[in-house]
Amino acid sequence: MIKIAHITFFALGLVFLGQFTIQAQVLPSTTNPIDFAADKVVYDQKTNVITASGNVVLHQNGNRLNAQTVIFYVNSGEVKALGGITIQESSGNLLFMDDAILTGDLKQGFINHTRIIFTDGSKLIARKGERAGQLTILENAIYSPCEFCLEEGKREPTWQIRADKITHDAEDKTILYKNVILEIAGIPLFYSPYFSHPDPTVRARTGFLPPSRLGRSSELGTYIQVPYYINISPHQDFTFEPIITSREGLVFGGKYRQNIGSGTIITSGSITNVNERNNNFAKTGDHELRGHFFSKGAFDLRALDDISGDWQWDYAANWVSDDTYLRRYYNDKADVLESHIKVERFWDKNYATAGAYAFQGLNAEDNSNLTGQALPTFNINLNKETGFINSTVKIDSSGAQISRAQGMGSRRISTKVAFEVPFQSPIGDFYKFSASIRSDIYNNSGSNRPDLMQYAGQNGTHTRILPKFALDWRLPFLKSKGNTSHVLEPMFSIIIAPTKPNLADNVVKFSNEDSRNFEFDENNLFSHNRFNGYDRWEGGSRLNYGLRYNLYTDDVNMIATIGQSLRLNNTETFPIGSGYEGKASDFVGRLDLSVGNFIDYVHRFRLDKRTLSLRKNELILSTGPEWMKLSFRYLDLDLNDGVRLIGSELENRKEIGTALNISIDKKWALQGSWIKDILNKKTVSYNAGVVYRDDCLEFGLSYERRLTSDRDIAPSNTVQFRLILKNLG
């Protein structure tokens, strides 16, 4: 406790000198000093009382007290403060009160009509209380992080905790409650004789967290996930996340996080022992262990960098016991898991990486023995400006070894050297000339055991070389009037490359591991190679042409593109139904339209080159005022009048989806969506829900009906509840 003799001695001297207005500092001594300032100080020698009045400010040990009047009782060592009292603690917390009787260090005594405002704005309010060292004890008190008004007749905060006694331990940074009632919207919902939580200055502390998942589904029954957080150290923690279900028992899960200085590690997993089910969703009578393991990390390697640039490495290790586990217990709809370890370097305009990749397919048709694993791969991209007519030299080199547990394997090294020269003519059109040569070396084995026959290739070592010359051109025409601008931009590109005399150079000899998902659309209309990998390349001379139109006004933005590709021959092989078979391709296009905040519209399409009928029609529309947004999505991929062609890698698809979001006010919203597979004439899923959000609470209640099935996962209904209270989770 601070002794007040220093203030007394100093004040006595000033009184003898006739000074009544004071701003002074008590000098340090063997006890902690108090710095203070006041408009007026009066010392009563008979009662040994010092009275400071008028904008009184006291500083001691990082604490600050402001009041209109402060009375020092020298004999008892008490301090009485009156009128607009504010105490700001060294932690940043603020205490407001009408009057107080405290000891000299401001940490002992009684306080009335008190409010404590923590650093994050949350509040403790009480009519009376007590300061006892590091403890502030309030009776018949309220805690809430919400904004609210104390005037009579004003509404209650969104949520608050009422308690007979609330104790704030400033040293332990804990708020403790006795006889607690949790009120939401003024309605009592929960009672507990005791409750506690860290104050807002605490970053992390061991203890239970509020349920992260709560609901009921026809698969799991009633389920709840109650995390328990363990603060291991300032740089690592663990969260135990069990899922308790009424139909499937207990799922043990958890997540570990660590910061090691140069990077972070996050590892999660789960395990359960449940009833085995067959594809008819019936229990077989046996039990099986199911679970998953996910881990990822990213790290700097700058200590290894002897020249300019940055090195880094990262990894991901993902595994699940079976295909449907994640969907059943975690609503994770992933169809493939990727694991990898790789190192990367970025410097200037260059990039290099090397690593290894492994995959686990989760679809019904996936066979783990036939899934390719890239062990290892590398990729190097070098870009160098020559200083000669604004030209650039680019060197790309890559390689991969693809292995399978039972099946074909392949090894590839590819190198491409390109020379590019962009320029602009005096009339304003833009050109880019490029010349490149690419070479590949392949070695295939086990080609008689491919995952799919059309991708097999031939055993042995094969090489190929592809030179290519290209010229890209565009000429924007601009017209502006007032706030409206029009840009009309014709474009074309000419690519000259050797025409392969037969399929052996591109298909028969060479396995296809990374060029399987081919799609011809507006995104690759002007690409020099439309295959998305290395194993297939586009040879032969061809012309790509198109037209782009842009409209800009204060309220309307529109971009429209349409184009086609023409080839001198049709020896190249593209998937049947892709729209790129033969010498001439289908027409592809896209329209993007925004009208203020009322309409956002995207339309992607493909027109048959002969009949101009729609082969691909994809619409995405979001419309409505700010308080009501309607979303609509339609996809129709018709490869050949609805008939699946033999040998095609693509499938017909036709589906429709809608979503609606209605904002009742700034806090309440209704949401819903619906998806239907038109081709198979069945609804895929639909859901609806209500959401409430404000400054200190988030609440959600949703219902989902899923009508699809996948092996042991049957169509299901799910009701899910979500509640997040600020500062409590």
| Full 3-state SS string of 404-452 | CCCCCEEEEEEEEEEEEEEEECCCCCEEEEEEEEEEEEEEEECCCCCCC
Of the candidates 642, 660, 663, the one whose C-alpha atom is nearest the C-alpha of residue 651 is: 642
The answer to whether the CB of 39 falls within 8 A of the CB of 23 is no
Q: Give me the pLDDT at residue 231, please.
A: 92
Q: Is the pLDDT of residue 694 over 90?
A: no
Check pLDDT > 50 for residue 197: yes
Q: Rg of the Cα trace of the chain?
A: 36
Mean pLDDT of the 360-374 span: 90
Structure tokens at 636: 């129709």
Among 101-105, 150-154, 248-252, 320-324, the least confident range: 150-154
At residue 395 the predicted structure's pLDDT band, cuts being 50, 70 and 90, is very high
Residues of the chain with pLDDT > 70, as a percent, come to: 89
The whole-angstrom separation of Cα 239 and Cα 204 is: 12
Under the banding of pLDDT at 50, 70 and 90, the label for residue 625 is very high
pLDDT at 414 over 80: yes
Q: Is the per-residue pLDDT at 297 higher than 80?
A: yes
Please name the helix (run of DSSP H) or strand (run of DSSP E) that holds residue 14, with its range, or none. Answer: helix 5-16
- Compute the distance between CA of residue 457 and CA of residue 377 in angstroms, rounded to an integer: 20
Task: Extract the tokens encoding 71.
Answer: 């009375």
Q: CB under 8 Å, gap of 24 or more: what pairs does 597-603 form? A: 597/626, 598/623, 598/624, 598/625, 599/623
Report the alpha-carbon distance of residue 541 to residue 469 in Å, rounded: 9
CA angle 331, 332, 334 (to 5 degrees): 150
Check pLDDT > 90 for residue 716.
no
Rounded mean pLDDT, 356-375: 92
**Cα–Cα distances in angstroms (integers) from residue 484 to residues 557, 560, 602, in the given order:** 10, 16, 21
Q: Is the pLDDT of residue 21 over 50?
A: no
Q: What is the mean pLDDT of the chain?
A: 85
Looking at 15-19, 239-243, 405-409, 494-498, which range is the least confident one? 15-19
pLDDT at 463 over 80: yes
Say whether pLDDT at 11 is over 60: no
Select the highest-mean-pLDDT range: 17-21, 88-92, 266-270, 461-465: 266-270
Residues 629 and 656 sit within 8 Å (Cβ to Cβ): no
The per-residue pLDDT for range 319-340, each reduced to its tens digit, is: 999 999 999 899 888 999 999 9
Cis peptide before 376 (omega within 30 of 0): yes
Express each pLDDT in 588-614 by its tens digit: 999 999 999 899 999 999 999 989 988
Give the residue-averaged pLDDT of 356-371.
91
Quote the CA–CA distance of 204 and 118 in Å, as a whole number.
16
- Residue identified by tokens 């000429």 is 475
Q: How many other β-carbons are positioned within 10 Å of the β-carbon of residue 509?
A: 19
Q: Which pLDDT tens digit goes with each residue over 652-670? A: 889 999 999 999 988 899 9
CB–CB of 243/269 below 8 Å? no
Tens digits of residue pLDDT in 565-575: 998 887 667 77
Write down all domains in the chain, each with its CATH number in brackets: 5-182 (2.60.450), 203-362 (no CATH)
pLDDT band at 317 (very low <50, low <70, confident <90, very high): very high
**pLDDT score for 4:** 36
Residue 696 pLDDT > 60: yes
pLDDT in tens, 512-534: 898 888 888 999 999 998 888 89
**How far is CA 431 from each of CA 469, 522, 525, 530, rounded to the nearest angstrom?**
13, 20, 17, 21
In 3D space, the residue among 377, 299, 324, 385 whose CA is nearest the CA of residue 349 turns out to be: 385
> What number is the average pLDDT over the span 294-309?
72
Report pLDDT for 658.
96
Give me the pLDDT at residue 16, please: 28
Q: Which of 403-417, 569-583, 703-717 ranks highest by mean pLDDT? A: 403-417
CA distance 400 to 379: 9
Rounded-to-integer distance, Cα 551 and Cα 66, Å: 62
Longest CA span, the chain? 118
